[in-house]
Amino acid sequence: MHQIAPMSEDQMAIKDAVAKTIAPFDDEYWGKTDETGKWPEEFCDAMAKGGWLGIAFPEEYGGAGLGLTEAALMMQTVTRSGAGYSGASAIHLNIFGPKPLEKFGTEEQKQENLPKIISGKEKMCFAVTEPNSGLDTSSLETKAERTNNGYVINGRKIWTTGAQRADKILIIARTTPKDQCAKPHLGLSLFYTDLDRGKIEANPIPKMGRKAVECNTLFIDGLEVPKEHLIGEEGAGFKYLLQGLNPERVLFAVESVGLGFAALERAARYAQERVVFGRPIGQNQGIQHPLARSWAELSAAELMAYKAASLYDAGEDCGAEANAAKYLGTEAGFTACETAVLTHGGMGYAKEYHVERMMREAMLARIAPVSREMILNFIAERVLGLPKSY
């Protein structure tokens, strides 16, 4: 299927090399992970061995020193292969999740941790969201109280991906009470520390899709954190989190676009092969037009995503474009997957053709890590200059 986003020779080589790395992991492999809930370790190992987990990190720490554009190409190639979010989410956090550590950590922290994360030796999870705060990060209730040697953390987190296998945790907690801060988002601090299972209970959340990549509720009781594990300045954690928002939105956009194209390709193939009333069902405009519309929507979203990535890599503001890409990409991706299911008719409901798995996974990106409504709020306020509604 035609590639819309323009690519340089080097970027095309990256796309082809990633595709070669993940070629052994076919629909049967991903269907099995969805059925059993087993983490795709073989896939993760292959990506780590290929050096792909450090694509956007500096070479001095074992990374490739490339940009968001190349990382986006990689992640879109993963989902488009049929891996969907079962594949993408298994490595997504490695791509930009440790960026606060790279940008604001001490040289000792970076040397100690980044090479291990990039090689796959060190497995991390990222704990931000809480049951009572949702997207209102300034209202986080998990506390990090100072001790003689550092901090002790108590609280709860939810939707923490990969906590069952992680040995490190990147966690944000309140170090100064909200009512003592000049602004609500101040007084939050970021830590990168050991995931001590004697102090952290991680319980998987049964969910709709992407069974192999679990999300957890965390109960944190007396987690002792050395002062050396604080990232940057105390109280500046929220500011550090903001650095990763636009890249994350771009990655979710291209991952959804890739997944949508994967579903669309399967639907178009089925529409050519399935014969009813003596003709391929793809000969009917009732089948053709929804598929064609999805191709157009996916292609437009793809262009917006790579525009945002290009702006980010050039050091320019890309907030509007990144948010628009996330909105357009995730909506187009879900619609394409839904259209693929409907194109298959009754067989779209069967696991055999994998499109139902793709549709379940596509729903995830419409909700996380930020809702469609909050994205539209951002565009309304920051782009159109309308008053804040909440």
Tens-digit pLDDT profile for residues 305-329: 999 999 999 999 999 999 999 999 9
Q: Could you give phi then psi for residue 226, rounded to 5 degrees?
A: -60, 150
pLDDT of 135 higher than 80: yes
Residue 372 to residues 19, 152, 302, 330, 336: CA-CA distances in angstroms? 30, 36, 17, 9, 17
Tens-digit pLDDT profile for residues 23-33: 999 999 999 99
pTM of the model: 0.96
Burial of 178 from C-beta contacts in 10 A (0-12 / 13-18 / 19+) = middle
pLDDT of 6 higher than 80: no
Mean pLDDT of 73-94: 97
Token pair 């993408």 is found at: 88
- Would you identify the CATH topology of the domain 124-236? Butyryl-CoA Dehydrogenase, subunit A; domain 2 (2.40.110)
Radius of gyration in angstroms for the set of CA atoms belonging to the chain, rounded to a whole number? 21
Tens-digit pLDDT profile for residues 254-283: 999 999 999 999 999 999 999 999 999 999
Tens-digit pLDDT profile for residues 348-357: 999 999 999 9
Confidence of residue 2 (pLDDT cuts 50, 70, 90): low
Q: What is the pLDDT of residue 7?
A: 84
Q: What is the pLDDT of residue 141?
A: 97
Tens-digit pLDDT profile for residues 294-309: 999 999 999 999 999 9
Summary mean pLDDT of the chain: 96
One of 1.20.140.10, 1.10.1040.10, 3.10.580.10, 1.10.287.980 is the CATH number of 239-384, namely 1.20.140.10
pLDDT of 1 higher than 80: no
- Would you identify the CATH topology of the domain 9-119? Butyryl-Coa Dehydrogenase, subunit A; domain 1 (1.10.540)
Confidence of residue 222 (pLDDT cuts 50, 70, 90): very high
Confidence of residue 4 (pLDDT cuts 50, 70, 90): low
What ranges do the domains of the chain cover?
Answer: 9-119, 124-236, 239-384
